[in-house]
Structure 1
Amino acid sequence: MTLADDEALAAAAGTPDDVLIQLLSHRNWHVRWEAAQNSEASDAVRLAALATGDKDLAAAVGQLGDALSSTVLEAVFDHPKRDGREQLGCVVRDRATQERLASGPDVKVRASLAVSNEDLPEDLVRKLAADRRAEVRACVAKRRSLPEDLVIAFASDRSANVRWWLLCMRDTPEVAALLREDPDEMTRNHARRVLGEPLT
């Protein structure tokens, strides 16, 4: 069989679980990914993918989001690699799972949830905006839309990185005016460029 045949088999509806499990160890990552994400695969396939310890396969399973059974979801949370939880955070719409990710110990998982999940309710956006880690707050600042009070609060965040991303994502005169005297030179001068003012 050719690589294209293997890819097609891994992705095809109706491919038996035992074949999909074999394909999880294929030399080509795309075949492995397709097998892990096969739309008709059982929990046994998803759990076998996680059991490989392969972070890419963990990501492939996590990316299935709300389609995961409770058994596989728990396995994603228990997995030693964070990649599955990061991908889960990008797509999951289930409120309880979002809350669990937002309260989890891994900074990168919270950051992934903050920046990538467009279905995050406002109260969880606010929770992440108050995160003790600047990496998470910066990812909230990167969101396409934010409540106005959070924009104002982020303009005086103690982290220059948070203020920079706030301005980069919203280089409007209104936001630039909040940052035209910023202590960080790069942020301050970018704000002044937006306002058409001399640099410092």
Structure 2
Amino acid sequence: MATVAARAAEAADPGTPADVLAALAADRAVKVRIALARNPAVSTEILRALVDDSRWEVRFTAAENRSQDAVRVALAATHVDTREIAAQRCDLAPAEIETILRDPARQVRQQLADATDDPEILSRLARDEHPYVRASAVLNDHMSTADTEMLAEDRIARVRGAAAASRRLRPATLTKLASDRSVDVRWNVLAHNPERLDLAALIAEDDDETNSGQARSQLEDPRTFTEHLGDVDLIR
């Protein structure tokens, strides 16, 4: 029998006969199946096996395969993690995006929310039924200001907190969130908008000791906390 290295080289070669590639899909060596998953010449049938392989390394590689059918096959995989990898691709066709938007696993839709640069897709994700998806979408810099403002009023604190961390809210909206009923939302206002010393002064009186202590630290030495933002104006 050929060595693992030889079989892996054969599996990676687009010129390898189809029947040989099909046999290699059942190879016991993970290295061989990974090489096969990377081969753009593998058939749709082989890809279907690989996207549901027992090893995540094989599944993920298959989901990133550059063949024409790879994304469609990966988005139909049984394993959620395979579909998550496919949802992060930058070459998604409109039909494939629609498949992701309908995926029953919120993790898959969340990956699209993280990866897309399309404001229209983000607008749809901003209205997703799951708060984790909405929170991921609002942290994407390509989301419109209007949708960011909408999510600042979300009924779920995780989403409002993500909006507070986005640095795209109007000053008045951020001021409102500084008095939010959720301690986590107030923390995000403070931690992600350190130039707003007016809000730090408000949160310095917070009932939560962690928030109030952090606010006092930011008021005492504001430039330490705004350094990563560059030469930003302090708002008192």
Indicate conservation of the 8 Å contact 2:116/2:122, yes or no. yes
Counting only pairs closer than 5 Å after superposition, residues 128-147 of structure 1 correspond to structure 2 as 128-144=151-167, 146-147=169-170
Where in structure 2 are there 5+ consecutive unaligned residues?
1-6, 8-28, 222-236
1:124 positional shift? 1.5
| Higher RCO structure (Cα 8 Å, ≥6 apart) | 1
Tell me the number of residue pairs that the alignment of Structure 1 and Structure 2 aligns: 193
Residue 79 of structure 1 and its aligned partner are, at CA, apart by: 2.0
Residue of structure 2 in register with 1:168 after alignment = 191
Are 2:126 and 2:151, in contact at CA under 8 Å, matched by a contact in 1?
yes
The Cα of 1:144 is off from its aligned counterpart by 5.0
Secondary structure of the structure 2 residue equivalent to 1:120: coil
Shift of 1:173: 6.4
Aligned letter for 2:101? Answer: F
Q: Could you tell me which of 101, 107, 110 is aligned with 1:77?
A: 101
1:180 paired residue among 204, 215, 232: 204
* Structure 1 segments unaligned to the other structure (5+ residues): none
- The answer to whether the aligner puts 1:110 opposite 2:134 as a matched pair is yes
Match of residue 148 from structure 1: 171
Deviates more, 1:168-177 or 1:94-103: 168-177
> How far apart, in 2, do the equivalents of 1:41 and 1:150 lie?
45
Q: Which has the higher helix share?
A: 1
Among candidates 74, 78, 82, match of residue 57 of structure 1: 82
Q: Following the alignment from structure 1 to structure 2, what is the Cα–Cα distance between the partners of residues 144 and 5? A: 46
Distance 1:48 1:7, change over 3 A: same
Question: Structure 1, residues 122-157: CA drift from partner, whole Å, max 9, x if none?
Answer: 112111112121110111222255443333222122
How large is the Cα RMSD of the aligned pairs?
2.3
Task: Render the CA deviation track for 1:55-74: whole Å, top value 9, x for unaligned.
Answer: 10121122125x32232222
How far is the alpha carbon of 1:28 from its aligned partner?
A: 1.4
- Partner in structure 1 of residue 67 of structure 2: 40
How far apart are the structure 2 equivalents of 1:95 and 1:102?
10
1:3-42 matched pairs, under 5 angstroms: 3-42=30-69
Structure 1 distance, partners of 2:57, 2:185, is 36
**Distance in structure 1 (CA, Å) of the matches to 2:150 and 2:196:** 27
